C-alpha cells in the first residue's frame, strides 16, 4: 500500500511540474530555473520507473530529461538534445523489441500500422530536408531512430497505452520540426508540442512499467 501511494505521489508531482512548465511564462520562474523545471517532471517519471524495477525504462526517461535540459538552455544545445533523445528512443525501441520477441507480432494491425509509419516518416523527412541545414545529419539519424521505435511499438503486443505514447512522440517531434525546418510557428504549436510530449512520456511509462525490463 505504501509503495502504491508513493508511486501515485511521484506521478502526481511529475504531472504538476509538467503543467507548471506549460505556464512558466506566467510564473515567477526565470532562466536557468526553467531548465530544471522542464526536466524535473520527466526525471520523476524515471524515479517512478526505477522504483518499479523497470530499469531500462528509467534510463530512457533519464536521457529524455537530459534532452529536455539541453533544449531549454540558452542558447539551446540542439545537437546534444537530439543525441539524448536518440538514446532514449533506442532504449524505448529495445523495450518494444523484447516484447516483440517474447510475444510475437500484433495481428492484424501491426504490419499495416508499421507500413503507414514508414511511409509517413519517408514523406516527412523528404519534406523537411531542404530546411535542415547543419542539422541534416543528426536530424536524419534521429528521424530514423524514432521511426524504428514507433514501428517496433506497433508491431509488438505491448499495451496500447505504450503504443499510443510512441505515436504521440512521433507527432510531437513533427510539430517541433515544423518550427525548426519550415519556420512555421503558430501560437498553438508550442503548447501542443509540450502537451503531446508529456502525454507520450506518461503513456510510455504507464504502459511499459509493468514489463519490468
162-194 pLDDT, tens digit each: 999 999 999 999 999 999 999 999 999 999 999
Q: How many domains does the chain have?
A: 1
As a whole number of Å, the CA-based R_g of the chain is 17
Which pTM does this prediction carry?
0.93
- The grid coordinates of residue 201 equal 512520456
42-99 pLDDT, tens digit each: 999 999 999 999 999 999 999 999 999 999 998 889 999 999 999 999 999 999 999 9
What is the three-class DSSP state of 77? coil
Domain region containing 130: 2-211
Amino acid at each position: 500500500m505504501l509503495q502504491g501511494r508513493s508511486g501515485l505521489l511521484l506521478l502526481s508531482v511529475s504531472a504538476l511540474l509538467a503543467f507548471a512548465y506549460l505556464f512558466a511564462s506566467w510564473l515567477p520562474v526565470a532562466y536557468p530555473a526553467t531548465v530544471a523545471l522542464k526536466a524535473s517532471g520527466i526525471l520523476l517519471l524515471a524515479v517512478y520507473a526505477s522504483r518499479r524495477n523497470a530499469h531500462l525504462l528509467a534510463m530512457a526517461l533519464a536521457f529524455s530529461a537530459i534532452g529536455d535540459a539541453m533544449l531549454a538552455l540558452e542558447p539551446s544545445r540542439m545537437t546534444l538534445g537530439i543525441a539524448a533523445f536518440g538514446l532514449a528512443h533506442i532504449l524505448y525501441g529495445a523495450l518494444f523489441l523484447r516484447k516483440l520477441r517474447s510475444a510475437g507480432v500484433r495481428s492484424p494491425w501491426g504490419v499495416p500500422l508499421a507500413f503507414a509509419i514508414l511511409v509517413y516518416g519517408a514523406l516527412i523527412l523528404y519534406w523537411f530536408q531542404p530546411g535542415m541545414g547543419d542539422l541534416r545529419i543528426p536530424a536524419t539519424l534521429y528521424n530514423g531512430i524514432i521511426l524504428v521505435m514507433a514501428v517496433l511499438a506497433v508491431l509488438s503486443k505491448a499495451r496500447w497505452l505504450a503504443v499510443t505514447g510512441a505515436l504521440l512522440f512521433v507527432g510531437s517531434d513533427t510539430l517541433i520540426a515544423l518550427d525548426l525546418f519550415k519556420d512555421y510557428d503558430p501560437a498553438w504549436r508550442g503548447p501542443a508540442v509540450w502537451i503531446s510530449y508529456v502525454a507520450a512520456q506518461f503513456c510510455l511509462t504507464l504502459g511499459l512499467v509493468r514489463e519490468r525490463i
